Amino acid sequence: MKRRTFTRLAALALAAGVAGAPAMAQEVLKVGAVAPKTGPLAGGAAVSYWPNVKLWINDVNGRGGLRVGGKTYKLEAIEYDDQTNPGETIKAVQRLVDQDKAKIVLPPYSTGLNLAAAPIYARYGLPMITSTATTDKADALSAQFPNVFITLGGAKPVVQGVVDTMVKLRDRGDIGKKLAMVNVADAFGIELMNEAKPAFKKAGFELVYETSYPLGTQDLSPVMKAAKAAAPDAFIAWSYPPDTFALTEQAIVEDLKVGAFFTAVATAFPAYAGRFRTAVDGVLGIGGVNADGEAFKAYAKRHEEVTGAKPDYWASAMVYSSFQVLEKSIEAVGSFDNAAIIKHIKANSFDTVIGPIKFDGHNNNPSFWTVGQWQGGVFKGVASTGRDGAVDVKKKAAWK
């Protein structure tokens, strides 16, 4: 009895092996990806990063594979969790190159982890087209690490985009000049607040309320109550995901009456609209996409089909686009000669799902979305530094 079971199992295993054989005929190319699956940034990576790795590999394999110098390769992902720890990111990249012999290594997730890994990518000569790092220091970085490319922009242009949007609303008479502005007391929020204060003052706005709150603050109702008491015409929050949700919640509870309501990171997440439903209509946020463009629509549709989740309206498309730039460059060069690939990325313009990408002399992508607005259930770009497809900004109506 036992022997028969064994024979059956062996036959099954053999059959499985034979069935699996045709897939092996094509050469397999290992693609390394390292980003948080645990730790503080795991939530963001689960929305903007990991689904795009899956989708991109699915797309490339779907059209036959990656064509490099007359050969076609099936892509296969090797995914590592860096636990939101820069030491682990560095180790994982080295493991990918040295142990796993990955020919392609995708960039990590977030500003801090990308920069921590930059010296390692530079030492291996790997092209590193970052898609989730924001920095105003692109010139210093590209001087030190000529293989690093920045696509998502920095604080200065984002602030400029928000100021321009508010000026437009004010000049149209939709809002007055009284502004309430708050920030999360962490790296990102601090930098944007410090850029924004003088910029709004210069544009003729009056700051009637400002405060900061520590990262991880659970109860933001005192902040919203105080903001409401100052009777502002517009509310701006340089916020992170948890507080973006909490501030919006409180604004609805307190019925904050403003003509413009802006929250930063996570406003562009599908989960934001999922939580607040129709109330999000007219809410402004950081990021945006050309939501009516055919390229984005097709991308969003594929994203949902393949990964079962909607892309966000900011970093998702940028992450996928950075993979596309790499893919196109490798195919154009026709080999895995990284120096030639980097040269190709620097010299050419690439057609991607967010539109054309052409890097400047500092390896910086000068055209990105800065402000978007929820309009009819879609987060549409309203301000950018040179992207097509911006829609007109609308006055925020009452919460509903």
Q: Which residues bind another protein (CB under 8 A)?
A: 37-38, 40, 79-81, 83, 85-88, 90-92, 94-95, 97-99, 111-112, 115-116, 118-120, 123-124, 137, 140, 144, 155, 185-188, 190-191, 193-194, 212, 214-215
Nearer to another protein, 211 or 335 (CB): 211
Nearer to another protein, 157 or 259 (CB): 157
- For 26: left if phi > 0, alpha if psi spans -120 to 50, otherwise beta; the answer is beta
Q: In the bound complex, what is the minimum distance in angstroms from residue 308's beta carbon to another protein?
A: 17
Taking every pair of Cα atoms in the chain, the longest distance, rounded to a whole number of angstroms, is 88
Nearer to another protein, 188 or 269 (CB): 188
* Integer CA distances (angstroms), 223 to 130, 176, 243, 252, 289, in order: 35, 21, 11, 13, 30
* CA 342 to chain CA mean position, Å: 22
Q: In the bound complex, what is the minimum distance in angstroms from residue 318's beta carbon to another protein?
A: 20
Q: CA-CA distance, 153 to 192, in Å (whole number)?
A: 13
Number of continuous H segments (helices) and E segments (strands) in the chain = 14, 15
In the block, residue with structure tokens 């989960």 = 271
Q: In the bound complex, what is the minimum distance in angstroms from residue 292's beta carbon to another protein?
A: 34
Q: In the bound complex, what is the minimum distance in angstroms from residue 91's beta carbon to another protein?
A: 5
Nearer to another protein, 58 or 94 (CB): 94
Nearer to another protein, 98 or 351 (CB): 98
Nearer to another protein, 30 or 168 (CB): 30
Q: CA-CA distance, 352 to 327, in Å (whole number)?
A: 11
Q: In the bound complex, what is the minimum distance in angstroms from residue 151's beta carbon to another protein?
A: 17
Q: CA-CA distance, 61 to 74, in Å (whole number)?
A: 6
Q: In the bound complex, what is the minimum distance in angstroms from residue 227's beta carbon to another protein?
A: 18
Q: Output the CA torsion sign for 77, 80, 84, 87.
A: negative
Nearer to another protein, 96 or 325 (CB): 96
Q: In the bound complex, what is the minimum distance in angstroms from residue 327's beta carbon to another protein?
A: 23
* CA 358 to chain CA mean position, Å: 18
* Integer CA distances (angstroms), 51 to 54, 84, 103, in order: 5, 18, 21
Q: In the bound complex, what is the minimum distance in angstroms from residue 275's beta carbon to another protein?
A: 25
Virtual CA dihedral for 111, 218, 312, 257, nearest 10 degrees?
-120
**Helix segments in the chain, DSSP class H:** 2-24, 42-48, 50-62, 86-94, 111-124, 138-144, 155-171, 187-202, 221-229, 241-254, 270-276, 294-307, 315-333, 338-347
Nearer to another protein, 302 or 362 (CB): 362
Q: In the bound complex, what is the minimum distance in angstroms from residue 185's beta carbon to another protein?
A: 5
Nearer to another protein, 188 or 272 (CB): 188
215-252 per-residue burial string, b: 16 or more CB within 10 A, e: under 16 = eeeeebeebbeebbeeebbbbbbbbbbbbbbbbbbbbe
Q: CA-CA distance, 322 to 8, in Å (whole number)?
A: 48
